[in-house]
Structure 1
Amino acid sequence: MAKEIQKIYNDPNDFFNSPEDFIVDRGTEYMSECKDLLLNYNVGIQYVNSKCNVAIAKRDHQEFEKYASFWQDAEDFHLPLINRSRAWFKRLCINDDIYNNTPTQLIWNEAVKKALNNKTIIVRLSVKHRRPVDYNEPLLPSYTEVRYLLKPGELEGRRKRATDCNWSPEVFTIGSYLIKENQPILYKFYKGPKYLFVKEELQIIPLDTVLPSKYIFKH
């Protein structure tokens, strides 16, 4: 990964030359040498706390691979199974205008032009909400005790089992929230997981609830 980033910075004609921010997940490929290289170019590194935050970039990569993968397959068919060709990468022509000039359901051409000029745009709704959102949504006050909905395999770091809990065994306190136009309110915990939650992912704990001892959850 560091070698590919180095190629971008060494190419003065590259569109993405000298970016100010670099948004990545917490994968190991972005650590060590890659991190040192970005800091050397005074690039701000922003780590996302959830794979959902990089979903747009991953979708862009998926669409690009549909056009580029057949070159890779054609080269590999003529090589032994243990070898992989890298010559196909040199023939790729990455044309971002294909994506920038393609209307989508959420943003249109004019919105893309504004985004490229660092202007604020309002994204259309991807789904129609069946409940009030943004400033019309009932707000859960701070210091509300809740449990959050576990992702598959989150409890033990592997695939979800039938005996796994649906809600987190530990109770957390809402520390802050984020309100955006046409979007559900996002809640952040005080001393808890770093990613944000919507209301449907939270289970409110009544004040008079007597919770089991933490010793039971740990043993």
Structure 2
Amino acid sequence: MPYDKVGQITYLFCLNIVNVALRYKASILIGVYSVKDRQGILISATIARSLEKIYDDPECSLIWLKLLITDRGSEFKGDCEKLIKKHGVKIQKAKSKYTMGIVERYNRTLVEKLFPSQNASDLLILDRRSRAWVKNLLIVVENINNSITCQLGISPVDAIKEKEVFVKPSYLWGGPIGFDEEKLSSDVLVRYLLYPIDLEDGRRRAGDLNWSSHIYYIRESMVQKNQPVLYWLEEVPFGLTDDDDYVVKYPERSFVREELMVILFDTELLPQWVLTN
């Protein structure tokens, strides 16, 4: 976020939290008295204090959760981990931004709602850029929490007061799901769909592969009610069985059926001599 000075404090960041089940959002401001101290502000002690401020606030309906998913930043270690474990909360480190998709979408929503007022100010005041966002943050968060969501059918503010809430899928699944979905057998060979993070520079280019160059078999699968079947893969080391130094690849993330391309057993690859000509 752009630096926004309110009084004597310059606000640099805001810590965003989303209750995944209830879609309830909370944001806590993080600032310093001097911008020179910005390098030492985003540390685990700061995050720990921010979490306490959110969950110990009697006006905030959030309670200490069972599982906290964070990215792999150092600010979520140290004091932050101690605080989380003190409250009996399990910590899970996200393997990619896709795992943090709900929070990343909330971050984007905040930008979409906070920045238009800055742009409007820039059109009226031409001699300086507007960086104001702090004064509108709590208003925007309150508006989001009081808006009815498609998944819940009610607002997060109302949902957090209920003992049980039924959550609809974020989009309709085009076929059987859960225990009704046909599961791939463990003896099939597959390639998986490549995301930009799987590519060399972290972004897709016109000539990049769409599917993994290596072939994998299904190491493990998991079936859940009303959820797509998840698969974990292990590489098939074709032609490398005599290489003791070769490390078999295990993709960290799980996959759904649509992200896997089944390789038929009678599929023939190009002969090796093609690569030498």
TM-score, normalised with respect to structure 1: 0.71
User: 2:149, 2:155 within 8 Å by CA — same for their partners in 1?
Assistant: no
Corresponding residue for 2:239?
Answer: none
Q: Counting strand residues as a fraction of each chain, which structure ranks higher?
A: 2
Instruction: Give ranges in structure 2 of 5+ residues lacking alignment.
Output: 1-41, 235-248
User: 1:100, 1:109 within 8 Å by CA — same for their partners in 2?
Assistant: no
Alignment partner of 1:65 out of 105, 111, 114:
111
Corresponding residue for 1:195?
Answer: 253
Question: CA offsets per residue over residues 96-126 of structure 1, 9 Å max, x none?
Answer: 5533332221112288755x47966442133
Alignment partner of 1:108 out of 128, 131, 153:
153
SS in 2 for 1:93: helix
Sort the Cα spacing of 1:126 and 1:13 in 2 relative to 1 into closer, same or farther, 3 A. Answer: closer
User: 2:95, 2:253 within 8 Å by CA — same for their partners in 1?
Assistant: yes
User: 1:177, 1:188 within 8 Å by CA — same for their partners in 2?
Assistant: yes
The percent of aligned pairs where both chains have the same amino acid is 29
Alignment partner of 2:143 out of 80, 98, 103:
98
TM-score, normalised with respect to structure 2: 0.58
* Rg larger for: 2
Instruction: Give ranges in structure 1 of 5+ residues lacking alignment.
Output: none
1:15-164 matches, cutoff 5 A: 15=60, 21-26=67-72, 30-31=73-74, 33-43=75-85, 44-70=90-116, 74=121, 89=134, 92-93=137-138, 96-109=141-154, 113=158, 116=160, 121-152=165-196, 154-164=198-208
User: 1:177, 1:187 within 8 Å by CA — same for their partners in 2?
Assistant: yes
Q: Counting helix residues as a fraction of each chain, which structure ranks higher?
A: 1
Q: In 2, distance between residues paired with 1:50 and 1:183?
A: 20
Sort the Cα spacing of 1:140 and 1:41 in 2 relative to 1 into closer, same or farther, 3 A. Answer: same
Residue 202 of structure 1: how far off its partner (Å): 0.9
Residue 168 of structure 1: how far off its partner (Å): 0.6
Question: CA offsets per residue over residues 66-87 of structure 1, 9 Å max, x none?
Answer: 3333566659x78878xx95x7
**Equivalent pairs, count:** 207
Residue 148 of structure 1: how far off its partner (Å): 0.5
Q: CA RMSD in A?
A: 3.8
Residue 174 of structure 1: how far off its partner (Å): 0.9
Residue 147 of structure 1: how far off its partner (Å): 0.8
Q: In 1, distance between residues paired with 2:80 and 2:95?
A: 19
Sort the Cα spacing of 1:162 and 1:97 in 2 relative to 1 into closer, same or farther, 3 A. Answer: closer
Residue 52 of structure 1: how far off its partner (Å): 2.6
Sort the Cα spacing of 1:96 and 1:188 in 2 relative to 1 into closer, same or farther, 3 A. Answer: same
Residue 130 of structure 1: how far off its partner (Å): 2.9
Residue 9 of structure 1: how far off its partner (Å): 4.4
